[in-house]
Structure 1
Amino acid sequence: MVNQTGVPRARTQEGGHESTLITDKGSTSIDDGVVAKIAGLAAREVAGVHAMGGGSKALSTMRGMVGGDGRSPSQGVSVEVGERQSAVDLDLVVEYGTKIPDLAAAVRKNVINAVERMTGLEVTEVNIRVDDVHLPEQDKGAVQNDADQESRVR
């Protein structure tokens, strides 16, 4: 099999929840989580994507209190990996004022390029669900709440 650049692509074979790339020199397994992480990082690179996953600010705040900021590179990403192909589903929170159709096109392009370049798997589809719109005032409120917390502690 030869891709668009004329470089031979490895044959692939299903391996449970992994995709196994088989060549004459050996095989390479790519776990679903790897594809999800690549897709999540590629989606976050696009201007206008505020966050990935559910849009609940309260839930994100609680995650931050429990430990860490609650953001995983694969948060808001689910993938299906087959023999030669993968499909990606993304949940996004977009910045207010961003043209969602343009953002979706840019995210699709970036995700497809990153996953195909890094894994050799063909991406058949990237489905995008916009969960929420991030408003600029939300950041100001969070800063104010942090200031209130600090003044109560001292």
Structure 2
Amino acid sequence: MAATETLASTPSTSKSSSNRHQSIAGKVVIADTVVATIAGIATREVEGVHAMGGGATRAMGAVRDRVARSADHTRGVRVEVGEKQAAIDLDVVVVYGTEIAGAASGIRSHVSDAVERMTGLEVVEVNVNVRDVHVPGEETDEDEEEVRVR
């Protein structure tokens, strides 16, 4: 379900182009994937977050990212978006040594702020599911970047 916001305004008496946008009524529709992308990017910005998604999701995502040559910012993110509110579930992998409760609090705050600021939706819930701990120095397929030329 996508969020919809209806914008209504009173007709403008000015005919200048700078005021013209004030007289146009319409609606803004925010797709679920937009909210998921914002939440995914904001989560990755929090210190202590190594990756997003569960084990199988990360493995499949790493393959998909290599084929598409781009990152899937929505991996590990599920959202429910209504007309005025959003609820977000996040699956994360934290770096070993990270204080998990503090990281989860930081994730909730940062994601909520980003989604509310960018979409105008009220974020009613951000659930953080810690799926794994990454130990630095232990490389996985998703950590290895494809190097074509050395």
TM-score by length of 2: 0.75
- Runs of 4 or more consecutive aligned structure 1 residues displaced over 3 Å after TM superposition: 55-58, 68-71
Q: Is the Cα–Cα contact under 8 Å of residues 63 and 69 in structure 1 kept in the other structure?
A: no
**Partner residue of 1:18?**
2
Change (3 A) 1:67 1:20: same
Amino acid at match of 2:123: V
Q: What letter matches 1:50 in structure 2?
A: H
Aligned length: 127
- For 2:96, the equivalent position in structure 1 comes to 96
1:125 to 2:115 alignment? no
Change beyond 3 A, Cα 1:92–1:29: same
What is the aligned partner in structure 1 of residue 15 from structure 2?
Answer: none
CA distance in 2 between counterparts of 1:18 and 1:57 reads 24
The CA distance in 2 between the partners of 1:109 and 1:117, in whole Å, is 12
Q: Quickly say closer, same or farther: Cα 1:27–1:99, change in 2 above 3 A.
A: same
* Aligned-partner SS, 2:138: helix
Q: Following TM superposition, by how much is the alpha carbon of 1:65 offset from its aligned partner in structure 2, in angstroms? A: 8.7
Shift of 1:138: 1.0
Question: After the TM superposition, which residues 100-111 of structure 1 pair with which residues of structure 2 at under 5 Å, given as runs?
Answer: 100-111=100-111
CA RMSD across the alignment: 2.6
Structure-2 change in CA distance of 1:58 and 1:27 (3 Å)? closer
Letter in 2 for 1:38: I
Find the aligned partners of 2:45 and 2:106 in 1 and give their Cα distance: 10
Equivalence for 1:10? none
Q: Distance in 1 between matches of 2:2 and 2:57?
A: 33
Q: Which amino acid aligns with 1:55?
A: G
Name the SS of the counterpart of 2:106 in structure 1: helix
Measured after TM superposition, the shift of residue 72 of structure 1 is: 0.5
Q: In 2 relative to 1, CA 76–70 (structure 1 residues): closer, same or farther, beyond 3 Å?
A: farther
Secondary structure of the residue that 1:130 maps to in structure 2?
Answer: strand
User: Where in structure 2 are the equivalents of 1:4-153 lying within 5 Å?
Assistant: 17-24=1-8, 25-55=25-55, 59=59, 63=63, 67-68=67-68, 71-139=71-139
8 Å CA contact 2:6, 2:26 repeated in 1: yes
Structure 1-normalised TM-score? Answer: 0.73
1:61 and 1:136, CA in 2 relative to 1: closer, same or farther beyond 3 A? farther
Amino acid at match of 2:128: I
